[in-house]
Amino acid sequence: MMKKADIDEMLRTIEDETRYTRGMTGVPSLRPEVLAAMRQVPREEFVSNFYKTMAYDNTPLPIGNGQTISQPFIVALMTDLLRPDKDKVILEVGTGSGYQAAVLSLLVRQVYTLEIIPALAGVASARLKRLGYTNIEVSRGDGNSGWPEHAPFDGIIVTASAPHVPPVLKEQLKPGGRLVIPVGLTAMPQELLMLEKNDKGEIRTRHVLSVSFVPLTGNGGNDDTRKNNL
């Protein structure tokens, strides 16, 4: 059962972390609407019974298949960096539990989200339907190729660590759009990057914060042995 005190505490921790890291992230405070979305989405619904008592701790938790639901502070920060608003269409790479997609769905027009592990894609899709999120489309697929049928996107968020920024994702970003992605090899530290495309199509990259994510896999991902032979 969702407890107001637990959620209040999660929100306080997110605001504290935002303040502690502002020198690095350049984000002094999170948009009120992002905090409201974090308050509204029941994180306990996105973890198994075993982890429900920890659902509002500011920590990643296992979701099966060796994957995790991300730390709430990082979810909130990445959401804020996308500058969400009701006109935007966002691509997420790495559906996992569906939690990040649910948070975004309250702030934007449409979320398209790709998950490479079929079992996780199936569970997340059923969960999001059951919880009544109608503007999220989940598909099983390799996010290294983006989602050409729905491109270009106003924003792209990648929730697994890539060896480099997949070029296709840069192409699928609209002018004025932002791409938020952790980059680095599987070993720590990885860097959360924020790329911004201007109206001329030029891309500026900003380092945001050191982070720790599970690897982006698939074609060109951190487990692609061919990349070592190129």
Q: How far is the C-alpha of 175 from the C-alpha of 147, rounded, in Å?
A: 17
| Shortest distance (Å) from residue 80 CB to ligand SAM | 15
In terms of CB distance, is 149 or 202 closer to ligand SAM? 149
Phi and psi of 66, rounded to 5°?
75, 15
In terms of CB distance, is 15 or 142 closer to ligand SAM? 142
| Shortest distance (Å) from residue 108 CB to ligand SAM | 15
Query: Which residue out of 29, 48, 70, 97 is catalytically annotated?
Result: 70
Q: Does 106 bind ligand SAM (CB under 6 A)?
A: no
Which region among 80-88, 112-120, 146-154, 203-211 touches ligand SAM (by CB under 6 A)? 112-120
| Shortest distance (Å) from residue 16 CB to ligand SAM | 21
Give yes or no: 161 in active site: no
In terms of CB distance, is 114 or 195 closer to ligand SAM? 114
Angle at 40 (CA atoms; ends 210, 1), nearest 5 degrees: 105
Q: How far is the C-alpha of 84 from the C-alpha of 102, rounded, in Å?
A: 13
Q: Does 120 bind ligand SAM (CB under 6 A)?
A: yes
**Which 138-167 positions form the footprint of ligand SAM (CB under 6 A)?**
142-144, 159-160
Q: How far is the C-alpha of 135 from the C-alpha of 208, rounded, in Å?
A: 29
Q: Which residue in 56, 99, 112, 153 binds ligand SAM (CB under 6 A)?
A: 99
Other CB atoms within a 10 A radius of the CB of residue 60 amount to 18
Question: Can you list the positions of beta strands (E) in the chain?
Answer: 61-64, 67-69, 89-93, 110-115, 136-140, 153-158, 173-183, 190-197, 203-211
- Within the chain, where are the H helices? 4-20, 22-25, 32-40, 72-81, 99-105, 118-130, 167-171
Residue numbers at the binding site for ligand SAM (CB under 6 A): 67-70, 93-94, 96-97, 99-100, 114-117, 120, 142-144, 159-160, 213-214, 216-218, 221
Catalogue the active-site residues.
70
